[in-house]
Amino acid sequence: MSANDDPQFWANARAHLVRYGGSFSPIIATSAAGNWFTDADGRRILDFTSGQMSAILGHSHAEIVSVARHYIGQLDHLYSSILSRPVVELATLLASVSPGKLDRVLLISTGGESNEAALRMAKLVTGKYEIVAMSRSWHGVTGGASSATYANGRPGYGPAMPGALALPAPDSYRSRFIDDRGVYDWRSELEMGFEMVDRQSTGALAACIVEPILSSGGVLEPPEGYIAALAEHCRARGMHLIFDEAQTGLGRTGHLFACERDGVVPQYLTLSKTLGAGLPLAAMLTTPEIEDIAAERGFLFYTTHASDPLPAAVGLKVIEVILRDCLAERAAELGERLKSGLMALQQRYDCIGDVRGRGLLLGLDLVKDRRGKTPDPDLAQRVARECLARGMMTSVVRGGFGIFRIAPPLTIEPAEIDLGLEIFDKALAAALA
Q: Which residues pair with 285 in a beta bridge?
A: 105, 269
pLDDT at 65: 96
Torsion sign over Cα 370, 371, 375, 379: negative
What is the spatial distance between Cα 126 and Cα 186, in angstroms, rounded to a whole number? 29
Distances (CA, A) of 194 to 148, 152, 392: 16, 22, 42
Please tell me which residue in 116, 247, 261, 376 is annotated as part of the active site: 247
Helix (H, G, I), strand (E, B), or coil: what is residue 206? strand
pLDDT at 268: 98
pLDDT at 153: 85
- Closest to 259 in 3D by CA, of 337, 356, 358, 349: 358
- Closest to 249 in 3D by CA, of 224, 212, 219, 286: 212
**Sheet holding 36-39: strands in order across?**
29-33, 36-39, 44-47, 392-393
What does the H/E/C string look like for 82-135? Answer: CCCHHHHHHHHHHHHHCCCCCCEEEEECCHHHHHHHHHHHHHHHHCCCEEEEEC
Give yes or no for a contact between 394 and 311, defined as CB atoms under 8 angstroms apart.
no
For every residue of 6-31, DSSP letters joined together read: -HHHHHHHHHH----SSPPPS--EEE
Q: Compute φ and ψ for 312, nearest 5 degrees.
A: -65, -40
**What average pLDDT does the chain have?**
96
Rounded to an integer, the average pLDDT of 406-427 is 98
What is the spatial distance between Cα 285 and Cα 230, in angstroms, rounded to a whole number? 20
Whether 1 has a pLDDT exceeding 80, the answer reads no
pLDDT at 172: 95
Please tell me which residue in 123, 273, 330, 356 is annotated as part of the active site: 273
Respond yes or no: is residue 347 known to be catalytic. Answer: no
Please tell me which residue in 130, 186, 405, 416 is annotated as part of the active site: 405
What is the spatial distance between Cα 378 and Cα 402, in angstroms, rounded to a whole number? 7
The pLDDT tens digits of the residues spanning 47-81 come to: 999 999 999 999 999 999 999 999 999 999 999 99
What is the spatial distance between Cα 7 and Cα 157, in angstroms, rounded to a whole number? 34
Rounded to an integer, the average pLDDT of 117-132 is 98
Respond yes or no: is residue 10 known to be catalytic. Answer: no
Domains and CATH numbers, the chain: 3-60+327-432 (3.90.1150.10), 75-324 (3.40.640.10)
Please tell me which residue in 36, 39, 47, 138 is annotated as part of the active site: 138
Give yes or no for a contact between 352 and 372, defined as CB atoms under 8 angstroms apart.
no
Rounded to an integer, the average pLDDT of 340-369 is 97
Please report, rounded to a whole number, the percentage of residues in the chain having pLDDT higher than 90.
93
- Closest to 364 in 3D by CA, of 390, 400, 397, 331: 397
What is the spatial distance between Cα 352 and Cα 173, in angstroms, rounded to a whole number? 12
pLDDT category, 23, cuts 50, 70, 90?
Answer: confident
pLDDT at 100: 96
Rounded to an integer, the average pLDDT of 357-384 is 95
Please tell me which residue in 39, 47, 244, 354 is annotated as part of the active site: 244
What is the spatial distance between Cα 316 and Cα 322, in angstroms, rounded to a whole number? 10
Helix (H, G, I), strand (E, B), or coil: what is residue 299? coil
pLDDT at 398: 85
Name the least confident of 81-95, 140-154, 215-229, 354-368: 140-154
Whether 44 has a pLDDT exceeding 90, the answer reads yes
Rounded to an integer, the average pLDDT of 24-40 is 94
Respond yes or no: is residue 211 known to be catalytic. Answer: yes
pLDDT at 22: 80
pLDDT category, 93, cuts 50, 70, 90?
Answer: very high
Given its phi and psi angles, is residue 245 left (phi above 0), alpha (psi -120 to 50 degrees) or beta?
alpha
Q: Compute φ and ψ for 157, nearest 5 degrees.
A: -110, 10
Helix (H, G, I), strand (E, B), or coil: what is residue 282? strand
pLDDT at 240: 98
The pLDDT tens digits of the residues spanning 251-274 come to: 999 999 999 999 999 999 999 999
Please tell me which residue in 47, 130, 189, 211 is annotated as part of the active site: 211
- Closest to 190 in 3D by CA, of 140, 132, 107: 132
Respond yes or no: is residue 36 known to be catalytic. Answer: no
pLDDT at 431: 96
The pLDDT tens digits of the residues spanning 185-205 come to: 999 999 999 999 999 999 999
The pLDDT tens digits of the residues spanning 281-339 come to: 999 999 999 999 999 999 999 999 999 999 999 999 999 999 999 999 999 999 999 99
